Copies of this chain bind each other. A is one copy, B any other.
C-alpha cells in the first residue's frame, strides 16, 4: 500500500501518524513537491485535484486525507479508532469536517503563507484560526480527546495543523487545554513525529 507523501505536509502527516499509531504498514513514496510532481502525470492521473497525500491500495486510489483515514481505519484497524455505529461514527465525522474546513483554512493556511510563501490572505487565515482554536479549546475543557473520550481518527485529523500552528504565527499560549491534548497525542504508544510538531 503506497502513500504518495511529502514530509512537511500536515495532510500527509495525518496519514503517517494514524498508520503509525494503528501499526498499519505503509510504503512511503516521497513526491517531488517543489518540482510540481503532484501536478503532472502520473500523479495527476491518480488525483485530478493535484494534491497529496494519495493512497493507492491495489485497485483503491484515494485523495483527501480525511477519506484516507476512514479507509485505513475501516479496513485495517479496529472500531477503537473509528466506530461503525451511527452515533459514534458521526461524532468522529464532525471533526473530520472541522479538519477539512476550519483547521485547513485557519492554522494550516497561515502556515502555508509563512513557511511556503503561498499567496493566501494571511489576515483571513488568522481570523479563521481565532475562531476555531477557542472552539477546540472549549471542547477540550470537558474532554481528554476530541471524540468518544478516547483517541480516534478525529485526533489524527486535527492534531497536525494545530500542533504546527506556531509555524504560521498562530500562538497556542492562550489554549492550555489544547496544549495538554497535544501532549496526550504525543504520548500515545507508537506516536510518530514530523518536523515542527
Contact = CB atoms under 8 A, between A and B. Distances in A.
A67 B98 CA distance: 10
A106 B175 CA distance: 30
Name the prevailing secondary structure of the A interface residues: helix
A63 interface: yes
Contact of A84 (B48, B71, B84, B100): B84
A101 interface: yes
Contacts of A91: 62, 67
Contacts of A67: 90-91, 93-94, 96-97
Contacts of A48: 135, 138-139
A174 interface: no
A89 B46 CA distance: 18
A47 to B, nearest CB: 10
**Number of identical protomers:** 2
A42 to B, nearest CB: 17
Given A100-B101, A105-B101, A139-B48, A93 B121 contact: no
Contact of A96 (B49, B72, B84, B96): B96
Given A70-B86, A74-B84, A100-B100, 19 more contacts: A48-B135, A59-B87, A60-B86, A60-B87, A62-B94, A63-B94, A64-B98, A66-B97, A67-B94, A67-B97, A70-B90, A71-B90, A75-B86, A84-B84, A93-B93, A93-B96, A96-B97, A96-B100, A101-B101
Interface of A: 48-49, 59-60, 62-64, 66-68, 70-72, 74-75, 84-87, 89-91, 93-94, 96-98, 100-101, 104-105, 121, 124, 135, 138-139
19 contacts: A48-B135, A48-B138, A59-B87, A60-B87, A62-B91, A62-B94, A66-B96, A67-B90, A67-B93, A67-B96, A70-B86, A70-B89, A74-B89, A84-B84, A93-B96, A97-B100, A105-B105, A121-B124, A124-B124
